[in-house]
């Protein structure tokens, strides 16, 4: 039987095709297996490396000296924290009865983040008597003792020597200019009280330190320490979290009054070598050339935002502070203008204290509408279970209206910039 050439060609052609197809299929299968293996090993290696990373991170996190202003090993030590000794201090809120809900929100936040572990007393001040509902609800919310005081009328009301005609004119003018609280009489009483009278209330006589709390504020992070203890152990007399520029329209002649006070007292209470004068003044190149806010005086308008402040009451009770306050008060500026307690405290602190007696608590996340501050260190935010985003536009520290960069430069600075160990 003769096999045709055509048949042989077809046979070997098919054989070759089958062979090539089989080889291709084998290559494809191997390739896919390789891909599966690759992805398997990649996955395993990722797991191993992330496992290693996270255990390394945890180790690092324990050892790491976090970027903090108040880093003191023993205060960050959980076990030692349990053996705390309470300082002679109180949480302090000036508040109205109708602000109860806001007061409870602030209390809840501060209790959860700090005070439940320490049980500091809460002191509440008001220019009218607190009602039963307020007392009951705030007492229930507090982990520590609560106490309530009525402010004497002479510490709160407008003094009789204020010229009523000038006062009414000032109110009207500021209202027309749409200045925040410019037309409010009670706001002026509040600012004057917070500037010169809160620390004279009998109920505070027993304490050395106060921590000012306002209704409707929030504390974003667990406190890594007792700030009162930090103050005492490090000889700090004033602590803040936010600093920014003031509206100049509320204090047109405040700096003039401060200059007169300095002249009148021959600057005897002021130590220019060691205070933070340069933080609030416009004299240097930075202030003159890159001033963010226009100021018509040598005061650059920087102030500590006093809705959060932790202070040494003995500083405010001191003769030098009283002298400073009484001078300013005698000009009537709290009423003829609308001087806030924030610029008044801040100027006093910057003139009368050493700059190293002022502390920036940069680990304490905080919000009072419309601004907040959130710790910038990632691990610190994890460690303190912060509920905030340091890159959020509401974080004032990144905003041009913050004076924090000035504080780092002219105040007591960042911890690691000023300390060797």
Ligand X SMILES: Nc1nc2c(ncn2[C@@H]2O[C@H](COP(=O)(O)OP(=O)(O)OP(=O)(O)O)[C@@H](O)[C@H]2O)c(=O)[nH]1
Q: Which residues share a beta bridge with 373?
A: 366
Q: State the binding partner of 110 from ligand X, Mg ion, none, CB within 5 to 8 A by kind.
A: none
Binder of residue 186, out of ligand X, Mg ion, none (CB less than 5 to 8 A by kind): ligand X
Closest to 243 in 3D by CA, of 140, 361, 337, 66: 361
By beta-carbon proximity to ligand X, the closer residue of 93 and 352 is 93
117: which residues sit within 8 A by CB, 6+ positions away?
Answer: 81, 84
User: Which residues touch 297 (CB under 8 Å, ≥6 apart)?
Assistant: 255, 256, 282
Question: Any idea which residue has 């806001």 for tokens?
Answer: 102
Residue 95 contact partner, candidates Mg ion, ligand X, none, CB within 5 to 8 A by sort of partner:
ligand X
Give yes or no for residue 214 binding Mg ion (CB under 5 A).
Answer: yes
**Residue 350 binds which of Mg ion, ligand X, none (CB < 5-8 A, kind-dependent):** none
Residue count, binding to Mg ion (CB under 5 A): 2
Instruction: Give whichever of 90 and 307 is closer to Mg ion, judged by the CB atom.
Output: 307
Catalytic-role residue among 87, 99, 218, 309: 309
Q: Is 328 strand, coil or helix?
A: helix
Beta-carbon contacts of residue 383 (< 8 Å; ≥ 6 apart): 61, 66, 224
Which partner, ligand X, Mg ion, none, binds residue 96 by CB below 5 to 8 Å per kind?
ligand X
Tokens of 52: 């290693």
Which residues would be at the binding site for ligand X (CB under 6 A)?
Answer: 94-96, 99, 126-127, 186, 190, 214-215, 307
For the question of residue 264 being annotated catalytic, the response is: no
Total Cβ atoms within 10 A of residue 321:
21
Q: With respect to Mg ion, which residue has the nearer C-beta, 70 or 307? A: 307
Q: Is residue 102 involved in binding Mg ion (CB under 5 A)?
A: no
Residue 322 CB, shortest distance to ligand X, in Å, is 21
Nearest approach, Cβ of residue 186 and ligand X (Å): 4
CB of 202 to ligand X, least distance (A): 17
CB of 369 to Mg ion, least distance (A): 8
Distance CA 345, CA 14 (A): 97
Compute the least distance from the CB of residue 310 to ligand X, in Å.
15
- Reference 226, options 119, 97, 357; nearest CA is 119
74 touches 173 (CB < 8 A): no
Q: Token pair of 116, please?
A: 């439940």
Binding partner of residue 248 among ligand X, Mg ion, none, CB cut-off 5 to 8 Å per kind: none
In this structure, what are the phi and psi dihedrals at residue 297, rounded to the nearest 5 degrees? -135, -175
| Nearer to ligand X (CB atom), residue 157 or residue 318 | 157
Give me the residue label for tokens 């500037």: 195
Structure tokens, 40:
């398997």
Q: Residue 346 in contact with residue 302, Cβ under 8 Å?
A: yes
For the bound state, the minimum distance from the C-beta of residue 51 to ligand X, rounded and expressed in Å, comes to 48
Which is nearest to 92 in space by CA: 312, 296, 364? Answer: 312
Angstrom distance (rounded) from CA 71 to CA 366: 19
Which stretches of the chain bind Mg ion, using CB under 5 A? 214, 307
* Residues with active-site annotation: 309
């Amino acid at each position: 039987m003769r096999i045709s050439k055509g048949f042989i060609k077809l046979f070997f052609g098919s054989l070759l095709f089958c062979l090539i197809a089989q080889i291709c299929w084998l290559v494809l299968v191997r390739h896919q297996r390789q891909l599966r293996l690759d992805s398997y090993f990649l996955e395993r290696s990722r797991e191993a490396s992330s496992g290693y990373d996270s255990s390394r991170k945890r180790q690092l996190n324990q050892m790491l000296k976090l970027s903090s202003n108040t880093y003191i090993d023993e205060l960050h030590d959980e076990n030692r924290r349990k053996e705390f000794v309470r300082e002679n201090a109180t949480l302090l809120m000036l508040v109205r009865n109708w602000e109860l809900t806001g007061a409870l929100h602030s209390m809840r936040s501060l209790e959860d983040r700090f005070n439940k572990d320490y049980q500091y007393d809460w002191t509440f001040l008001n220019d009218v008597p607190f009602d039963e509902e307020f007392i009951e609800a705030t007492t229930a919310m507090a982990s520590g003792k609560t106490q309530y005081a009525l402010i004497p009328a002479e510490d709160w009301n407008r003094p009789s020597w204020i010229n009523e005609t000038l006062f009414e004119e000032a109110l009207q003018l500021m209202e027309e200019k749409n200045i925040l609280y410019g037309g409010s009489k009670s706001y002026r009483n509040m600012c004057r009280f917070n500037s010169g009278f809160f620390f004279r209330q009998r109920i505070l006589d027993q304490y050395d330190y106060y921590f000012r709390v306002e209704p409707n504020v929030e504390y974003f992070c667990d406190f890594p320490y007792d700030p009162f203890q930090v103050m005492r152990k490090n000889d700090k007399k004033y602590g803040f979290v936010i600093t920014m520029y003031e509206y100049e329209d509320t204090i047109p002649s405040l700096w003039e009054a401060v200059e007169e006070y300095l002249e009148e007292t021959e600057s005897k209470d002021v130590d220019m070598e060691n205070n933070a004068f340069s933080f609030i003044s416009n004299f240097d190149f930075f202030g003159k050339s890159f001033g963010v806010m226009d100021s018509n005086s040598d005061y650059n308008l920087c102030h500590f935002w006093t809705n959060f402040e932790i202070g040494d009451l003995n500083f405010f009770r001191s003769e030098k502070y009283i002298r400073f306050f009484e001078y300013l008060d005698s000009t009537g500026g709290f009423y003829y203008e609308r001087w806030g307690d924030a610029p008044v405290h801040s100027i006093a602190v910057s003139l009368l204290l050493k700059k190293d007696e002022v502390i920036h608590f940069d680990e304490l996340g905080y919000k009072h509408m419309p601004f907040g501050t959130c710790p910038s260190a990632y691990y610190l935010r994890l460690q303190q279970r912060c509920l905030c985003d340091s890159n959020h536009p509401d974080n004032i520290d990144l905003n041009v209206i913050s004076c924090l960069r000035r504080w780092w430069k002219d105040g007591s600075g960042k911890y690691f910039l000023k300390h060797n160990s």
